[in-house]
Amino acid sequence: MKLTGAEIITEVLIEQGVTDLFGYPGGAAINIYEALYHRQDKIKHYLTAHEQGATHAADGYARATGKTGVVLATSGPGATNTVTGIATAYLDSIPMVVITANVGTDLIGKDSFQEVFITGITQPITKHNYAVRDIDKLAETLRDAFRIAGSGRRGPVLVDVPKDITAATYEFSPMPRWEEPKVSSAPQSELLKVADLIAKAKRPVVCFGGGVISSEAGGELVEFVKKARIPTCHTIMGTGVIGFGDDLDMGMIGMHGSMTANSAIDETDLLLAMGTRFSDRVALNLRDFAPHATIVQFDIDESEIRKNVMADMAIIGDIKTELQSLIPLVEGKERPEWLETIGNWKKEYDIINGKNITGIRPVEIMEVIGEKCGSDAVIATDVGQHQMWAAQFCKKTRPRGFITSGGLGTMGFGYGAAIGAKIALPDATVFHITSDGSFHMNMNEACTAVSNNLKVITVIFDNKVLGMVRQWQTSFYNRHYISTQPERKTDYVKVAEGFGARGFRAETKEEFEKVLDEALAGEGPAWIVCPIDREERVLPMIPGGGTVRSAIME
């Protein structure tokens, strides 16, 4: 059948299983919107306040489900507004397809109105991108985009489509949805070597990251560490996989990780790294990272091996498949001394400090959320101190329940991401944990939550300062507080009401419990602002380049 380019786009989206997309219309994109108008039975478009919000929403949607998130934006500023969201997805390996409209082919390269070379701009922040120049390549290109975004190491792919191509017609035949074939496992001989290393290790540690979630290997990971009895820590991207409080769980690793996890890395003789890329927030000092360990690195992306940390052995492939093959090869081996050491560290170090802190504390907020909403709630965060507190205290016990910008560290990520997660999982309780700094970046997305009556509960950790930078100024810059104490007078309750949302304020734990109940009982989005003591810091902290021995504890 002959279809217009715009119709081909919607048909390929439907064919690829897309039911929701996020975007913002404009002159160059209007044909695509016309095609969407006629396919509202199959695919729902969510209009955001800003294209950045659309990309974060698609990202949150993808993180909450594993499905590829889809964004539609117009040319020029519409396209450039997607850049931060694309980079956020790229750094965390999140599957996303971004379709940007462009000016007509005859106007390209002439600095036309709302023209920008978006494929050039996004080259270093996409897994791949395409500038479609012929209608006969359109369907194939879009299918390739979904295949690339959703296979191997996931990532964002951008497809730029000029307006005249959305109007041209071409023969279209539907194709079945593409499914990723299973990546074959590493040779048995290699896995036997790993099993042998595990059997001989006295102080083994597993450290895993977002790759385990991306591969849906959470169940296998837990089965593996429980069978082999290996203490386990995770990067912020791996939050939620292993049950909080499990005797093998040591919490988060890295700059604001637990002392137990960082101490274990310092002493381990066998480090099994799974789906983690040893960023500078995890391996703060490359030379002194796991100094006594044989390091075995499992990754789907061969270029991650020896990029940052020198691994002694590498297993390349899908971690789920690798773990399925590895589990039968390992034996349960109790290492009472090692577990006792770890237990002692937990007792000694992993307690929450905070002398002279007044008012409601971040840990209390996270505890109340955990108690009231359990582990099925989805938590999306912004970036900064509140993000670290959320990660440290959320006690998540399921994958895909903690959504955060780990790699790029994008302030303003959270609201869009929470909206996307709520759309993906309408029955889930969805929290957006934010702060006054991050929230001011993209609070405009409140209108999206209101328009779509999405019950996203925003909790604002309001310390009236840009807390993380200020914490660095406190610790390393002689308390030279420049540009971190903005003296904003925002009345969040009024602003929430102004957007048509509900606003609450809680100054104590008891008040927070009460208003959270109200917020959960009502309809539509709610904001709860909690004034936080600005001297509250994220601890422990290992300064950049340091090791657990240089950690700041209080």
Q: Does 302 bind other proteins (CB under 8 A)?
A: yes
Q: Does 143 bind other proteins (CB under 8 A)?
A: no
Residue in 259, 441, 468, 541 annotated catalytic: 468
User: Cβ 13 to other proteins, closest distance in Å?
Assistant: 21
User: Cβ 87 to other proteins, closest distance in Å?
Assistant: 12
377 vs 375: CA distance, rounded Å: 5
Q: Which of 1, 41, 111, 124 binds other proteins (CB under 8 A)?
A: 124
16 vs 157: CA distance, rounded Å: 15
Q: Residue 98 phi/psi, 5° resolution?
A: -110, 120
Residue in 7, 15, 51, 364 annotated catalytic: 51
For residues 17 and 146, the answer to whether their CB atoms sit within 8 Å is no
32 vs 35: CA distance, rounded Å: 5
Nearer to other proteins, 10 or 129 (CB): 129
Query: What is the DSSP code string of 301-357?
Result: -GGGTTTSS--SEEEES-HHHHHHHHGGG------HHHHHHHHHHHHHH-----TT-
Nearer to other proteins, 306 or 440 (CB): 306
Residue in 113, 310, 348, 507 annotated catalytic: 113
User: Cβ 151 to other proteins, closest distance in Å?
Assistant: 9
242 is written with which tokens?
A: 């292993």
281 vs 234: CA distance, rounded Å: 12
User: Cβ 79 to other proteins, closest distance in Å?
Assistant: 16
Nearer to other proteins, 192 or 286 (CB): 286
Nearer to other proteins, 9 or 148 (CB): 148
104 vs 233: CA distance, rounded Å: 52
- Quick note: the x/- pattern for other proteins over 249-288, rule CB under 8 A, is ----------------------------------------
Q: Which of 123, 358, 453, 475 binds other proteins (CB under 8 A)?
A: 123
Query: What is the DSSP code string of 55-82?
Result: HHHHHHHHHHHSSPEEEEE-STHHHHTT
For residues 247 and 354, the answer to whether their CB atoms sit within 8 Å is no
Q: Residue 102 phi/psi, 5° resolution?
A: -130, 170
Q: Which of 144, 216, 246, 513 binds other proteins (CB under 8 A)?
A: 144
Among the candidate windows 119-127, 355-363, 482-490, 526-534, which touches other proteins by CB under 8 A? 119-127
What is the torsion angle, in degrees rounded to the nearest 10, for the CA atoms of residue 135, residue 141, residue 142 and residue 148? -170
Bridge partners for 460 per DSSP: 434, 529
Number of residues that bind other proteins (CB under 8 A): 17
User: Cβ 410 to other proteins, closest distance in Å?
Assistant: 19
| Among 182, 180, 22, CA closest to 86 | 22
User: Cβ 28 to other proteins, closest distance in Å?
Assistant: 20
Bridge partners for 299 per DSSP: 316
User: Cβ 68 to other proteins, closest distance in Å?
Assistant: 16
User: Cβ 306 to other proteins, closest distance in Å?
Assistant: 6
Q: Which of 44, 128, 395, 440 binds other proteins (CB under 8 A)?
A: 128
Beta carbons within 8 Å of 262's beta carbon, 6+ residues apart: 253, 254, 540, 542, 547, 548, 551
Does 313 qualify as catalytic in the annotation?
no
Nearer to other proteins, 314 or 425 (CB): 314
Nearer to other proteins, 128 or 193 (CB): 128
Nearer to other proteins, 307 or 398 (CB): 307
Nearer to other proteins, 313 or 329 (CB): 313
Q: Does 184 bind other proteins (CB under 8 A)?
A: no
Q: Residue 200 phi/psi, 5° resolution?
A: -90, -15
103 vs 131: CA distance, rounded Å: 12
217 vs 322: CA distance, rounded Å: 10
* Helix, strand and coil in the chain, % to nearest 5: 40, 15, 40
Q: Does 131 bind other proteins (CB under 8 A)?
A: yes
Among the candidate windows 6-14, 79-87, 117-125, 219-227, which touches other proteins by CB under 8 A? 117-125
Does 114 qualify as catalytic in the annotation?
yes
Q: Which of 119, 279, 405, 471 binds other proteins (CB under 8 A)?
A: 119
Among the candidate windows 41-49, 144-152, 207-215, 390-398, which touches other proteins by CB under 8 A? 144-152
Among the candidate windows 118-126, 134-142, 228-236, 329-337, which touches other proteins by CB under 8 A? 118-126
Q: Does 306 bind other proteins (CB under 8 A)?
A: yes
Nearer to other proteins, 284 or 309 (CB): 309
Among the candidate windows 125-133, 268-276, 286-294, 360-368, which touches other proteins by CB under 8 A? 125-133
Q: Name the burial class of residue 341, with classes exposed (0-12), middle (13-18) and buried (19+) by CB atoms within 10 angstroms of its CB.
A: middle
471 vs 468: CA distance, rounded Å: 5
Does 51 qualify as catalytic in the annotation?
yes
For residues 60 and 416, the answer to whether their CB atoms sit within 8 Å is yes
Q: Does 313 bind other proteins (CB under 8 A)?
A: no
The DSSP secondary-structure symbol of 412 reads T
448 vs 20: CA distance, rounded Å: 14
User: Cβ 124 to other proteins, closest distance in Å?
Assistant: 5
Nearer to other proteins, 131 or 167 (CB): 131
Residue in 67, 163, 396, 464 annotated catalytic: 163
Does 510 qualify as catalytic in the annotation?
no
| Among 411, 467, 427, 422, CA closest to 449 | 422
Q: Does 147 bind other proteins (CB under 8 A)?
A: yes
Nearer to other proteins, 181 or 332 (CB): 181
Q: Does 314 bind other proteins (CB under 8 A)?
A: no
Catalytic residue annotation: 51, 113-114, 163, 468
Q: Which residues bind other proteins (CB under 8 A)?
A: 119-120, 123-124, 127-128, 131, 144, 147-148, 301-303, 305-307, 310
